[in-house]
Each structure stands twice: as C-alpha cells, then as structure tokens.
Amino acid sequence: MASIRDVAKLAQVAPSTVSLVLNNKGYVSEALRKKVLDAIEKLNYVPNELARNLYRNCTNIIGVVVPDIAHPFFGAFIRFLEVALYKHNYKIMVCSTIERENAEHELVDMLRRQMIDGIIMGCHSLEVDLYDNVNKPIVAFDRIINNKIPIIRSDHAQGGRLAAQAMLKAGCKHPLQIIGAKSVTTPAHLHHATFREEMLKAKVDIKDYEMEWNKFSMDYFCQVAKEIFERYPEIDGIYGTDMIICACYAEACKHNLKVPQDIKLIAYDGTLITNCGLLNITSIVQPIEQLAQKTAQMIVSLIKNEDIEKEIIMPVSLRQGDTC
C-alpha cells in the first residue's frame, strides 16, 4: 500500500506539500498540485483517515446512546438522525444500553479520549452523574442530565392535554394510563402528569400503572397488558406508548372487548406500528424526523463552539384513528 512519502517521491515534492494538497490547506501552485494529484492517481493512494482526523483533532463520529435500537421510536429516531448527520459529514456510533451494563460508560470514555466528537444521550440511565465533569459536546434527547447540557424534546404537556381531551370527548369515564418508571429523569413524564390533571379537572377518576425500569420487550408489554385487564376490569380507556397500547389492543380482543365501543385506546409516539393492525390506533404523534434534524444541528453547533438554545421543544399532534 502506497504511503504519503511514496506520493511525494513520485511527484518530486516534499511530504508536507502532499499533506497540504490532501487537506486543501496553505498555498500550493497549480503545477505542483497537478503533480501531486497525478501521483496519487497512479499509486492509487488512499489517505489514512484516522491519521488525518488526529491531525485535525476530530473524528467526524457522533456517539448515540439509546435504550434499545429495536424499539420503534428509537429505531425511527436513529434512522432520521443518521441521515441528518451525514449531511453535516458526520457518521454515528450507536450504543444500546439494554442488557449492557458498561456500554454507556465506554462511550463517555471514548468522548473523553477524543475517539468521538460528541454524544447524543437518549437512554434511560440512572447514572446521570456520569456526565457531570465531561466538558465535551453532549446533547440530551428527552432526558434531564444537568443544567449545563442542552436538551431537545417534544411538547409533552401538549401531548397529554390532547390525549385527555380526545378521551373525554369519546366519553371515557374510567381511564388508566401506563407510565414509565418514575426513577428516570425525563420530561416525558409531563404528558402523563398533564393527562392526569385534565382528567381530574373533568372530575374523572384515573388510575396509573407504573412499568418497570428499562424494559422494552414485547413479551414484557404483553405481560403488563394481561395484568392490567385482570386487575382493572372496570376500565374503559387506556393511554400509554405505542408498544404497550398495541399489547393492550391484543389483550382486549382476547377478552372479547370491542374497540372503541367497550374500551378506548390512545398511543403516545405515533410510530409506524400504530398503523399496522386491523384498526389504526389513535395516537399523539411526536415529530421524530424533525426531532432528529434539530438534534443533529444542535450537536454539530456544539462541536463548532457555536451558540445554541439550551432547550428546544417541538410540538406534537393528535392523529385520529379508529380506537378512540
């Protein structure tokens, strides 16, 4: 494999001149530039990208931490994020934390050692102090880490309000909402808090079911749905994230309950799985593509030391389906 010295020897220039041409820096006459480019082509020389990045003090790689890449919401987010960052000449390194205890620690260590340029943190880790003394570009996606790290999220209060209004309009009298583990510091809790507030304002009693921390498998969601229908036979409405609502829909069918006549369902996220069944599930839709684009812009701006907003909140919307 040809080296930069081989190119310099064939072009009859100094290795530093080849470096200037490769990095498009400094002044090189057109005649010398042509000699270097001709030598590169003849030798089929491929620059060592790692060495170039070390020279430029960057890697053009962003670490992305999520709970589970197989989850429909996080899978869609990563898909759009990869496209958005690619337009900024960055690649991503994805880290799923589910069933991997040290994965998040390893990525933070890579950031400290300048093996990646920044981190987008969207997992449900309880170790937020891990980021306290990391003075590198970090963006929190729907997580509250500390008051230094910028955050991007949806308007969850608006989402909870829209869901409650839809449930009340449909005549729901005994709703239950399935909430995530309260131990996780996330603004997503706002949509459940607002849903509860709106129901209580309408003098409608509401029940909460709190799920276990960091569990995202469909088997677990089906187990939760079964337990809910056994424990609360009187409920006539359920509100929760996409996967758990899909599990509840299947469980309702097993109990010969008609949707939405006997029980109403509203999902939060609005990913593709809410439109894949016999009925389209009424959903609060998070703007995943726009969230990904804004997240990409934010982390790139941080890397470039540009001024950014400390918090970006994106609006959500109600997508009317067949279940409420």
What is the per-residue pLDDT across 172-197, written as a single tens digit (0 to 9) for each?
999 999 999 998 889 999 999 999 99
pLDDT at position 178 is 98
Share of the chain above pLDDT 90, in %: 65
**In the chain, domain spans:** 4-56, 61-154+288-314, 156-286
**Among 5-9, 52-56, 76-80, whose mean pLDDT is lowest?**
52-56
Confidence of residue 142 (pLDDT cuts 50, 70, 90): very high
pLDDT at position 109 is 87
- Answer positive or negative: Cα dihedral of 262, 71, 287, 279: negative
Tokens 């980021």 correspond to what residue? 131
Q: Are strands 138-141 and 118-121 parallel, antiparallel or unpaired?
A: parallel
Sequence-separated contacts (24+) of 248-252 with Cβ below 8 Å:
248/178, 249/277, 249/279, 249/281, 249/323, 250/222, 250/225, 251/222, 251/225, 251/226
Short-list 86, 240, 92, 260, CA closest to 172? 260
Helix, strand, coil fractions of the chain, as percent rounded to 5: 45, 15, 40
What is the per-residue pLDDT across 218-276, written as a single tens digit (0 to 9) for each?
999 999 999 999 999 999 999 999 999 999 999 999 999 999 999 999 999 999 999 98
Q: Write down the number of H helices and E strands in the chain.
A: 11, 12
| Identity of the highest mean pLDDT range in 6-15, 32-41, 90-99, 136-145 | 136-145
pLDDT at position 123 is 85
Mean pLDDT to the nearest integer, 62-76: 93
Confidence of residue 46 (pLDDT cuts 50, 70, 90): confident
Helix axis angle, 242-254 to 72-86, nearest 10°: 150
pLDDT at position 242 is 97
What's the CATH superfamily of 156-286?
Response regulator (3.40.50.2300)
Given this chain, do its domains 4-56 and 156-286 carry the same CATH topology?
no
Query: How much is the CA Rg of the chain, to the nearest whole Å?
Result: 25
| CATH architecture assignment, domain 4-56 | Orthogonal Bundle (1.10)
pLDDT at position 99 is 65
Q: Do residues 314 and 291 lie in contact, with contact meaning Cβ atoms separated by under 8 Å? A: yes
**Domain 61-154+288-314 of CATH type 3.40.190.150:** no
pLDDT at position 80 is 98
- Give the C-alpha separation, 315 to 288, whole Å: 11
